[in-house]
Amino acid sequence: MATFTAVPGIEVECEHCGEACADTTIVLGDKIFCCQGCKLVYELLNENDLCEYYNLNNKPGLAQRIPVRKDKFAFLEDNKIQQQLLQYRDDEHTHITFYIPHIHCSSCLWLLENLHKLDKGVESVTVTFTRKEARIVYRQEETTLRRIAEVLTSIGYEPYISLQDMQQKKPRVQRDLIYRLGVAGFCFGNIMLLSFPEYFGNYGYSDAKMNVMFRILNVSLSLPVFFYSAQVFFKSAWSGLKTGFLNIDAPIVLAIVVTFVRSLADVISGTGSGYFDSMTGIVFFMLIGRVLQDKTYQGLSFDRDYTSYFPLAITIIKDGKEVPTALPDIKVNDTLLIHDNELIPADGILVKGSALVDYSFVTGESVPVSKSIGEIVYAGGKQLEGNIEILTIKEVAQSYLTSLWNRDELKQKATRQESFIHLVARNFTWILLAIAALSALYWWKFDHTRIWPAATSILIVACPCTLLLAASFTNGHILRILSRHKLYLRNAGAIERMAGITDIVFDKTGTLTGNKDIPVTWHGPTLSRAQMMSIASVAAQSTHPLSKLISAFYHNIPRVPVSGFKTTTGMGVSGYIQEEAVLLGNAAFTGTRTVPNHNDGSIVYVAINEQPLGYFLIGNQYREGISTLLQSLRTKGYSLSLLSGDNDREADYLKSLMGEDATLRFTQQPQDKLNYILDLQTKGKRVLMIGDGLNDAGALKQSDVGISLTEDSNNFTPASDGILEAGQLTRLPKFIRICIANKRIIVISFVISLIYNVIGLSFAVQGILSPLTAAILMPANSISMILLSYGLSEWADRR
């Protein structure tokens, strides 16, 4: 029994892209390439004196094995389409920003910014690395948009132009909060400085005239903080109150306003300097926390919908001519020409050609479906074999896939459970108000003059700012720690929801299974080279995934011509090599009688000239460590489910992986997945869904936490609460643990800040809280809180 693995050890690496070369036939000088495409790029760069590309980084290119269709960018010549993509155009220059997913290292940066060497019409290129964007300025007299796109493609930097580009521009980066932070920092620092004479006024020199001067300056410096920087909190509190919800910002606004009014009263009446330093300080720290927590991941988008998957334009056949047309302009009864490997953008009837449609994108089913003339093909499928023509029966926006996306229940944001922080803050506020009322009552009885100072300083010193600080800093740190582990959560709310999940739902294709290193083994007598050639050649004719794997398994075996190739749906493929009949398929198809007992993969039997030879065992593609992952989640008490768009041929194996009590569902349509999640939620479960692809999109959006998996962060992911790099999936238990720790850290920090509050309150109830005490307590409290939450988060990560 001979055994091989599909991926042999490292061979020769391609000079351009660094991928393993199948053979060493494609050479240029002493350089070896994996394909003609890579060699072409190398030659092109060589001719144009752009070799620096290869010096900056080792083999930075993208494999060019799949050539890009020649007229792919023809639609860019259409003026109407251009109008919607261009950012700016004058008599001479045009500005456009392309999204180029392949941008990944400094070589890319260098090459793209030297694009003018390849296209003389390009004026300048500016790459924004974090967003993977290139802003190109070109002279429209000398070059065209299409030409630039083609030049970029020829060097391996194909711009990704999707339907989404056509609709409104992406929102700009939020800088507003940063400005507010800057202003608050500036005012806080200066007020602190100007308050020093006041702090030490009792210990020596004090000039009444100077003091007035300092106080006036303090008041004027606090105005921008109160009216500009703190506005964020005002707005949030107001929008909470409007919906009858007392969020954490409400007591904070109360404290800010009380502090400001009290301080203003002090200064005007000349009785003191007020607490402007404390007020501006707390606003400053809270803004830092908010900036930290709201940090967004540039280059990652959590809100993709179908428009970012769909191409921008498609070819329509009108009066025998091919016209590139923007997707929204497609009408019912248009004839669309779908090229090889293009996405079908609208539901239609197949009128020409034979379709082999890969619906894995929509349904998760990995085996392509063949359709013949007259049958309906649905939007979202990818045509695999040759060109086809379809007659549209529905517009893009009304297609099955898009209507799935536009469902009402997905549009309205599900009412999320409110954060425990708001709950704590509310209780805290009531206690605080009670203390203030009590001490006011006390002083009303004994010393009327102290009512006002005591009550206000209680509200000043013990505002729940520290709770907000603890929460926002801890959330920010945890988000950062998770992103270090390649889990990018959308926002802080996702952390808290993730900590509370009870059920975990997995998708199969692309989630539990990966797309790398599928072991293929041959079971049977050792094959002769001629037999291998026959098998490889027949397998290479088919687009079935299993055939493709066999073909890849024999990648270094030369191919021979195949005649009479035929696919029998659900059975296998057959073909003749000269007089030899080669059959690949299931046991019945090949006439194999002895069926081996394997449940950890798919089996392809081989028969040559009606003589069964043996079979290929094609291992499952489950990611490494999946069984340990599932095991540990199970022992932690999460109930697991699997929703697969694929068929149930691996059901037994999956059952053994996930345990007897797990729910396994196969051939699930996107709608079924969504319903399953809804069903769990109505039972009071809180669901974490992990999936990839469009077919999970509804379920991801509906679940309490939806995490989409991606092979590398360049890829496109459906709308979700988080994006996880696929290799890190096995660390899921750790991620959940960190999220649970998040809540504990917030509580611990809050309790410690309460100690400061008690000290402050003990001064405040007596009505003797001096600005100096407040000025020491406030920053000490904030800073120790920040350090504590940072230290504890790091510790939670290490543990």
Partner 1 sequence: MSVIILLLGASLLVAICFLAAFIWSVRSGQFEDHFSPAHRILFEHKPTEHASGSTPPATPCNNNSTATPTNCKQ
Applying CB under 8 A, the residues found at the interface with partner 1 are 18, 29, 31, 42, 45-49, 51-60, 104-107, 109-110, 113-114, 116-117, 120, 122-131, 173, 175, 178-179, 182-183, 186, 189-190, 194, 207, 209-210, 213, 217, 298
Write the CB contacts of 181 (distance below 8 Å, at least 6 apart in sequence): 229, 284, 287, 288, 291
Q: Which helix (H) or strand (E) holds 553?
A: helix 545-553
Burial of residue 434, with CB atoms counted within 10 A of its CB: 0-12 exposed, 13-18 middle, 19 or more buried: exposed
How many CB atoms are closer than 10 A to CB 178? Answer: 12
Least gap, CB of 376 to partner 1 (angstroms): 43
CA–CA dist 614, 525 (Å, integer)? 7
Q: For residues 194 and 217, what is the distance between their CA atoms, to the nearest angstrom?
A: 8
Nearer to partner 1, 483 or 766 (CB): 483
Nearer to partner 1, 276 or 616 (CB): 276
Q: How far is the CB of 733 from partner 1 (least distance, A)?
A: 24
User: How far is CA 375 from each of CA 311, 350, 353, 391, rounded to the nearest angstrom?
Assistant: 23, 6, 12, 11
d(CA 306, CA 404): 10
Q: Between the CA of residue 144 and those of 97, 169, 392, 426, 596, what are the distances in Å?
A: 14, 22, 31, 61, 61
CB of 298 to partner 1, least distance (A): 7
Q: Are 252 and 464 in contact (CB under 8 A)?
A: yes
Smallest separation, CB 45 to partner 1 (Å):
7
Q: To the nearest whole angstrom, how small is the minimum distance from the Cβ of residue 109 to partner 1?
A: 6
What is the nearest approach in angstroms of partner 1 to the Cβ of residue 522? 31
- 738: its two tokens: 């960190």
> Residue 95 or 131: which CB sits closer to partner 1?
131
The 3-state secondary structure of 252-313, one letter per residue? HHHHHHHHHHHHHHHHHHCCCCCCHHHHHHHHHHHHHHHHHHCCCCCCCCCCCCHHHCCECE
Torsions phi, psi for 563 (to 5 deg): -115, 155
Output DSSP code: residue 35: S
- Separation in Å, CA 192 to CA 197, 205, 278, 466: 10, 18, 9, 20
Which among 384, 386, 387, 693 is positioned nearest to 548, based on CA atoms? Answer: 384
Q: Which is nearer to partner 1, 116 or 686 (CB)?
A: 116
Pick between residue 118 and residue 435 the one whose CB is nearest to partner 1.
118
Closer CB to partner 1, 128 or 715, in the complex: 128
Cβ atoms 647, 666 nearer than 8 A: yes
Measuring CA to CA, which residue among 649, 717, 667, 712 is closest to residue 689? 717
Which of 30/319 has CB closer to partner 1?
30
- Residue 135 or 685: which CB sits closer to partner 1? 135
Q: Please identify, using beta-carbon distances, which residue of 184 and 538 lies nearer to partner 1.
A: 184
CA distance 577 to 581: 7
Q: What is the closest distance, in whole angstroms, from the C-beta atom of residue 130 to partner 1 in the complex?
A: 5
Look at residue 770 and give its three-state secondary structure.
coil
Nearest one of 92, 70, 84, 67 to 146, comparing CA atoms: 70
Tell how strand 639-643 and strand 503-507 pair up: parallel
Closest CB 518 distance from partner 1, rounded Å: 21
Nearer to partner 1, 322 or 712 (CB): 712
CB of residue 712 to partner 1, shortest distance in Å = 9
Which residues make Cβ contacts (< 8 Å) with residue 610, sequence separation at least 6?
Answer: 581, 583, 591
Say if CB 585 and CB 572 are below 8 A apart. Answer: yes
Interacting residues of 351 by C-beta distance below 8 A, sequence separation 6+? 335, 373, 389, 390, 391
Minimum distance from CB of 259 to partner 1 (Å)? 23
User: Sign of the CA dihedral 334, 339, 345, 350?
Assistant: positive
Q: How far is the CB of 190 from partner 1 (least distance, A)?
A: 6
Minimum CB distance to partner 1, residue 54 (Å): 5
Measured from the CB atom, the residue of 54 and 285 that comes closer to partner 1 is 54
State the minimum distance, in angstroms, from the CB of residue 225 to partner 1. Answer: 12
* Pairing outcome for strands 520-523 and 611-619: antiparallel
Query: Which CB sits closer to partner 1, 147 or 737?
Result: 147
Shortest reach from residue 33's CB to partner 1, in Å: 12
Q: Provide the minimum distance between the beta carbon of 110 and partner 1 in the complex, in angstroms, as a whole number.
A: 5
For partner 1, give the closer residue by CB, 130 or 239.
Answer: 130
Residue type, 219: V
Measured from the CB atom, the residue of 479 and 504 that comes closer to partner 1 is: 479
Task: Please provide residue 284's backbone torsions phi and psi, each rounded to the nearest 5 degrees.
Answer: -60, -50
Backbone torsions φ then ψ of 459, nearest 5 degrees: -65, -30
The DSSP symbol for 719 reads S
User: 169 to each of 85, 163, 716, 781, how far by Cα in Å?
Assistant: 9, 11, 18, 43
Q: Which residue, 109 or 346, is less far from partner 1 as judged by CB?
A: 109
Rounded CA separation 534/558 (Å): 9
Q: Shortest approach of partner 1 to residue 438 CB, angstroms?
A: 42
Q: Are 753 and 442 in contact (CB under 8 A)?
A: no
Q: Which is nearer to partner 1, 280 or 749 (CB)?
A: 280
Q: Which is nearer to partner 1, 105 or 755 (CB)?
A: 105
Instruction: Identify residue 622 by its one-letter amino acid code.
Output: Y
Residue 341 vs 730, nearer CB to partner 1: 730
Q: Which amino acid is at 413?
A: K
Q: How far is the CB of 229 from partner 1 (least distance, A)?
A: 12
Q: How far is the CB of 135 from partner 1 (least distance, A)?
A: 11
One-letter amino acid at 739 equals C
